[in-house]
Structure 1
């Protein structure tokens, strides 16, 4: 299989079938695929290549089954006598091998599949045809079916989708909608209802564009408010937490937000707007010695850069005081402006890290051949820290999900033996994730301590529901 020698594999299948050895060949096939999958998913140093390697392996395995492991199908009414079709035992073995191999490193395959789709949706089809690009997306979804950690995929996919839509980084809205439809329809019983949040995202963006058009129509053509773009989002439809700490915008920007908020409240009494600037963007016109440039930046980057209208050099502590930005956020923002490839600011002293004693200076010597310069920001991609936080959030959500499932089961049954409760709980949550038995045991103990359940005094393996 490693050499792709399908001719020899076909000969093996024919010879093994003559002596009742298909089960042995199938077991070896399953073991080879499982070992190969495990090696790929456990290769921590090459996580970014994980999905492509899995796709290549899956493609090779599919080709093997459809060209070498063929059996005469005499009972299928839809096939003519003697027609050869892929041996179903090898098809089942392939599915089992991938599912088992994924468990060698829980959560990670599902996370990387979501990230692979994010890159594909940002990049678009390129020179590929619509059919070829759709085939790629379908092949990635085929990998998704093998993971037990559906909730991990959903969480990372939702967050990436939200960023693509809000930052307008998606190559095709049509393909985005098609993917959500496919997740809902093609996966059938395996479909996670929470993917429906994606449809609400599209509705919010559509309504926001209509609202902005109506708002701009009320303003004079030369009004500063004509440059404002606001997206009003339902908190329940978007996978973002409430911002704990905001940032001080320039007075002119803040004034326009207040004007919009007042107009919004007149049209939607009872609604409350909470501003979240974390994914905001802006375009600034900057004057360098080499000429004017349009800088496409995040709103956080814009807030920092605008400070240099009033000063050539500003210490880090002063930037912090004037913007009141979160400490980590400010350091990342300054890194993107002064430590990346496009240094519109200079850091004194030079270095990759931002320290409290650093001073920042406007780089008048900045040059770029393009008129419009995009300054990459940390917000546009999922950082390792964000991945870690997301996984921690998922683990926390899983505990609540297991607790809710146990309580529902016990409320219906009133009393259950420990083993029965374990099996029922796994069955209740398996469409989202497959829990570890030890985790369920810990949640049961926690519910006993919280007095949702009571352990039998006569039989420690029996539990009662506490009404």
Structure 2
């Protein structure tokens, strides 16, 4: 057959095409030759001479489809319905099935019809389709706008003649079917489920060709009534549950209903309706019943009824965060109360150990509970953080400072000192300790205490392991940054440099064949890096046994480093002294002042307190602190309990000890209340300097700034180390005004300007 355009007889070709269309739309068998000829017929009509007959073909196809759908409505869908109604037989379910069967045939047939008219679609209809801009500006006629592809036309005719006549009846039958499925707990016949599902989805498929608004018909015809009917059902079911269930039982039932409704929605509805139906279910069963659900919340939390709390979380999880606030706040208060009970009224020397380990137990307990019950929800983890921070940073009273930073620092000190604990256990405990450290607001207080305790460990060589010490500092650096641990690193550097310096000094002595008579180990420490308190020299006449060694080291050091000044801190020195005047020899570790006192008894057995003080040039306080431990250890005897100037001190020649090597503890190594207070006071001074420096940096960058803006920027800069009170910031501002770093602007009382 020639495809060359020519004059054709439309009526003759249309009769052949109509015959094929009737078979195709009803899914009857069509011979291949007849099918292929039909494609040629469509082509010939579209390119006919002298004028194409495409518009007429489109019109006839449209008329055919309209007649076919109307005929199916009356003969296949409604005929049996009317007949059975005449016999008073309830056939509503049959209507759904007849509609479904008819739709399945028609929808499949319309696809084949669309293929048959593919040339008309592509070469005639698509070329005339208006663009979005043309539709918006109305540049084409209404006739052009009405034309659509044949497959789309078939679906639109179905909507117009079938759905608009049956929609209300179909939706009513569908809702009854869904209600029946609910009543049977999801046991509805599988074929019935397939029919209802197919009918519902026909509302979507009939407009799937649309680029926008393809779900509009589905939403208007079915989704709205379905959600309304479901809402009424949920309200009724919720009321029934409230009458017969406790809160615990109610939550269990709601979880089951939510699960069943989710499965039912997947079984019947279009996916776009799933979240809407879920929201409707949550609204009626949860949001509208929050008062009832929360009525036992406090008891569930206080008793830690995990299953009930898990169910409550599952029930409340989908609702907005602000509606879950009561559960979260109750949980927060419960953790806070338990934390306060755990650490309240702790006493004794090991209060720091009890404080940290008790808080770690509380934290671990509720962290595990949140993982098990609340699926590690960030809101509950945040509540845990707030509760722990509240307990850890709680002040006993307004006048008393919070001591948590001190306790945590001392806990680290206990772990890092020499003990029988294995390194793996120490490392784990130090890692856990960081958990508590992160909650501390006054991290600068912790830094102060930690650096002082670290200094004592390094100077007196009490560290369990230098690797453990460095590991702890690295953890602090990760938590707070390099600036926080800068001085701690410098302390380690000094110890390393001092070790190297001692080796060089010993080699120098060997090279010059010099014998000092004593073994000497000296630590040279930078004054700015070490928290050694006041470096004011305490009056002390160095025993002649030490003079040569000290003089030799000073000369050696000044030759290496000219211009540097050495200040001897004898109160921080210690050494080992061998006692040979007793029945057996003892090696005793003691402070330098104590060694000097014992050495005075080389030539005599008895001395008065006044003689000892005058010889060593010790003040009363230093003498008392160092003499008392020696008397308590019974190395020396005293004529009276009070150490006055005339009190006689004599060497105990009958001293015995089971251990041949021991240490005399000194009161100086124990933390005194005065030292704690001094540390806290030094923190306050450092804070003032930090705030003043921060204000100057901010004002230098901003030049002019409002008071409130300045306060906010200072708070932002200082929050890493501490949270200053507003009064302290104001005092620092006033101090800087007095020092003429900044000034108040002339025309504003709450604005400052930087003075260059």
> Normalization by structure 1: what TM-score?
0.86
State the partner residue of 1:227. Answer: 519
State the partner residue of 1:65. Answer: 367
Query: For the Cα contact (< 8 Å) 1:10–1:67, is it kept in 2?
Result: no
Alignment of 1:327-366 (within 5 A): 327-338=620-631, 340=632, 342-350=633-641, 354-355=643-644, 358-366=647-655
Question: Hey, what's the Cα distance between the residues in 2 that align with 1:6 and 1:60?
Answer: 15
State the partner residue of 1:374. Answer: 663
By relative contact order (CA 8 Å, sep 6+), the higher-ranking structure is: 1
Determine helix, strand or coil for the equivalent of 1:168.
coil
CA-CA distance at 1:25 after TM superposition: 2.6
Instruction: Tell me, yes or no, if structure 1 residue 131 matches structure 2 residue 424.
Output: yes
State the partner residue of 2:494. Answer: 204
Instruction: List gaps (5 residues or longer) in structure 2.
Output: 1-297, 396-400
State the partner residue of 2:196. Answer: none
Instruction: Tell me, yes or no, if structure 1 residue 98 matches structure 2 residue 395.
Output: no
- Cα distance, 1:368–1:16 mapped onto 2, change above 3 Å: same
Alignment of 1:370-409 (within 5 A): 370-409=659-698
State the partner residue of 2:277. Answer: none
Spell out, residue by residue over 1:313-336, the C-alpha distance to the aligned partner (whole angstroms, 9 max, x if none). 333333222222343222211122
State the partner residue of 2:329. Answer: 27
CA-CA distance at 1:379 after TM superposition: 3.0
Q: Which has the higher strand share?
A: 1
Question: Hey, what's the Cα distance between the residues in 1 that align with 2:343 and 2:686?
Answer: 24
State the partner residue of 2:754. Answer: 465
- Cα distance, 1:61–1:215 mapped onto 2, change above 3 Å: closer
Higher radius of gyration, 1 or 2: 2
Structure 1 window deviating more from structure 2 (262-271 vs 329-338): it is: 262-271
Spell out, residue by residue over 1:327-352, the C-alpha distance to the aligned partner (whole angstroms, 9 max, x if none). 322221112212x3x2212233126x
Alignment of 1:162-201 (within 5 A): 162-185=455-478, 187=479, 190-201=480-491
CA-CA distance at 1:427 after TM superposition: 1.3
CA-CA distance at 1:153 after TM superposition: 0.9
Query: For the Cα contact (< 8 Å) 1:280–1:299, is it kept in 2?
Result: yes
Question: Hey, what's the Cα distance between the residues in 2 that align with 1:50 and 1:43?
Answer: 12
Q: Which has the higher helix share?
A: 2
Question: Hey, what's the Cα distance between the residues in 2 that align with 1:411 and 1:290?
Answer: 74
State the partner residue of 1:78. Answer: none
Deviant stretches of 4+, over 6 Å: 4-7
Of 506, 509, 514 in structure 2, the residue corresponding to residue 216 of structure 1 is 506
Question: Hey, what's the Cα distance between the residues in 2 that align with 1:155 and 1:169?
Answer: 19
Of 326, 338, 354 in structure 2, the residue corresponding to residue 52 of structure 1 is 354
Of 717, 722, 737 in structure 2, the residue corresponding to residue 448 of structure 1 is 737
Determine helix, strand or coil for the equivalent of 1:370.
coil
Considering only aligned residues, what root-mean-square deviation do their CA atoms show, in Å? 2.9
State the partner residue of 1:278. Answer: 571
> Normalization by structure 2: what TM-score?
0.55
Question: Hey, what's the Cα distance between the residues in 1 that align with 2:579 and 2:527?
Answer: 35
Determine helix, strand or coil for the equivalent of 1:147.
coil
Instruction: List gaps (5 residues or longer) in structure 1.
Output: 73-84
Structure 1 window deviating more from structure 2 (274-283 vs 138-147): it is: 274-283
- Cα distance, 1:68–1:419 mapped onto 2, change above 3 Å: closer
Count of aligned residue pairs for this structure pair:
446
- Cα distance, 1:278–1:127 mapped onto 2, change above 3 Å: closer
Instruction: Tell me, yes or no, if structure 1 residue 292 matches structure 2 residue 599.
Output: no
CA-CA distance at 1:211 after TM superposition: 2.4
